[in-house]
A and B are shown apart, each in its own frame.
Chain A
Amino acid sequence: MLILNCPYCGVDAEETELAAGGEAHLKRFGPGSSDDDFHDYLFMRENPKGVHLERWRHANGCGKWFHAARCTNTLEVFGTYSAQVSEPPQEIKDAITAKRPGWTWREFE
């Protein structure tokens, strides 16, 4: 059972209270972009064994979206953070580095 701390209402919400929202920090390639970029934006997703950044929504709760950093291998949660960012904040990166030195995820490390 995955338990994530909602950064908006501060509760430790368990998985059944949350809705998964897929991969975090997608960059949109819309009108005017190349077909390859648009294809990658639509279809290409990370599927790592290890560190992963995801979007979640506290659906049965405050209803807010937030980001979570966790390990898909061990279900360990490194931290949750605001949805209003385009990359993980430094303290989340530090928390992941402390547990998984040398981690990379897309362009972040």
Chain B
Amino acid sequence: MSEPISALNHASYDGIAKVTECGLQGMITLRGDLSDKVLAKAVKVATGQKIPGQREAFVNGDTGVCWMSPDELLVLVPYAEVNTKLAAMTEALGSTHSLAVNVSDARAVFSISGANAREVLGKLAPVELSAEAFQPGQIRRSRLAQVAGAFWMDDAETFRVVCFRSAADYVFKLLKVAAQPGSEVGVY
């Protein structure tokens, strides 16, 4: 069996913030009625978390659950466990009208860390990223320049950014330009 590697294999860049491709991350897209108890149990089985409310993200390292839309969740699990977790979820869901799919290999994940992390992302997404408006525990789906992306915060100075794997190179280049030394704007 060949060894799976992530889109950019842990490439990183140091500028006004540190940009790193995080490597492989297990991701399961779960669609269904989010108020359904069976769905809540399936999420609990896979991540130990409850169902997030609108735009909430309960993430701890590489395990957690994020709100994507009124009928969609993104379940995060360690890459090595994704198949067993997905099987457990599918079993927990039973005949409930829902969909759980492993999308790990369709995505790339970046982290942006440092005091200027907000600045770097603020240049790329049309989102209010001040400390009052965006905090750890929230997720925002938006665009990064020309491609779709979603992000949440691990802590006050670290963002986790998810995009499609096919756009990983583009997003990494964007983040590198946005993090160039001396390019602080000083808004946040």
Query: Which residues of A are at the interface with B, using a C-beta cutoff of 8 A?
Result: 8-14, 16-17, 60-64
* A-B contact list, 20 entries, CB within 8 Å: A8-B70, A9-B54, A9-B70, A10-B54, A10-B55, A12-B128, A13-B126, A14-B126, A16-B126, A16-B143, A17-B126, A17-B143, A60-B142, A60-B143, A60-B148, A61-B141, A61-B142, A62-B68, A62-B69, A62-B72
Main secondary structure of the interface of A (DSSP, over half): loop
**Which bucket holds chain B's interface residue count?**
10 to 19
**For the complex of A and B, 5 pairs with smallest distance between CB atoms:** A62-B69, A60-B143, A14-B126, A61-B141, A8-B70
Contacts of B143 in A (CB 8 A): 16-17, 60
Contacts of B128 in A (CB 8 A): 12
The answer, yes or no, to whether B140 is at the interface (CB within 8 Å) is yes
Interface digits, B111-155 against A, CB 8 Å rule (1 contact, 0 not)?
A: 000000000000000111000000000001111000010000000
Contacts of A60 in B (CB 8 A): 141-143, 148
Distance A14 CA – B140 CA, assembled complex (angstroms): 14
Distance A63 CA – B148 CA, assembled complex (angstroms): 11
A9–B69 touching, CB < 8 Å: yes
Query: Taking the nearest CB of chain B, how far is it from the CB of A85, in angstroms?
Result: 16
Most A Cβ at <10 Å: residue of B55, B68, B141, B143: B141
Q: Which residue of B lies closest to A14 (CB)?
A: B126
